[in-house]
Amino acid sequence: MKTKHDKTSRWITDITSQTFGLLTALRPTDKRTYGAVVWECECKCGNVIERSIRSLQTIGKGNQSCGCLASEIIKTNRQNANFIDGTCIEKIRAQTLLQNNTSGIRGVHWDRNANKWRAVIYFKGKQIHLGLFSNIDDAAKIRKAAEDVYFKPIIEEFEARKAEIV
């Protein structure tokens, strides 16, 4: 169904009251995004936002809510994934190497610019530089020591919480 938009004299598709994910189209605005009409929409959580008709019709691309759905998914995943202080226990316990790892040692890689082995550790969403080393064994030792400093207390706290629940 097409209706004439009063202010622009353009024909637009009327999607009033249609639902796209958690969003319901309320009314068209005067705004355009790459020629597409931008609609005022109400999310099921009550927030009112604007989305282009193109983005509304592209469900699965992050446009199915005002953002509350993504926040809820992240929150649920964090609860399920055993996060403590922003750190995923499963991830720090895993001894798997990344696909692009060339050293065979987690957190150790060759730094072409420095021409040395670089040791790093990721903790609470941040990369911590542990140093540059001529010898790969020295880099591996520092990385292991950092795991004991950063990861061990979190893992012990998680184990203690888990024991309290049981």
The CA distance from 146 to 136, in Å, is 15
What does DSSP assign to residue 90? H
Structure confidence by residue, pLDDT tens digits, 58-93? 766 556 788 777 666 666 655 555 777 667 787 787
C-alpha distances in angstroms, 63 versus 17, 56, 68, 112, 162? 17, 6, 11, 41, 37
pTM of the model: 0.50
Q: What local confidence, expressed as pLDDT, does residue 95 receive?
A: 75
Which alpha helices (DSSP H) does 57-135 contain, by range? 68-80, 89-93
Structure confidence by residue, pLDDT tens digits, 105-156? 999 999 999 999 999 998 877 889 999 999 999 999 999 999 999 988 888 8
The CA distance from 15 to 22, in Å, is 15
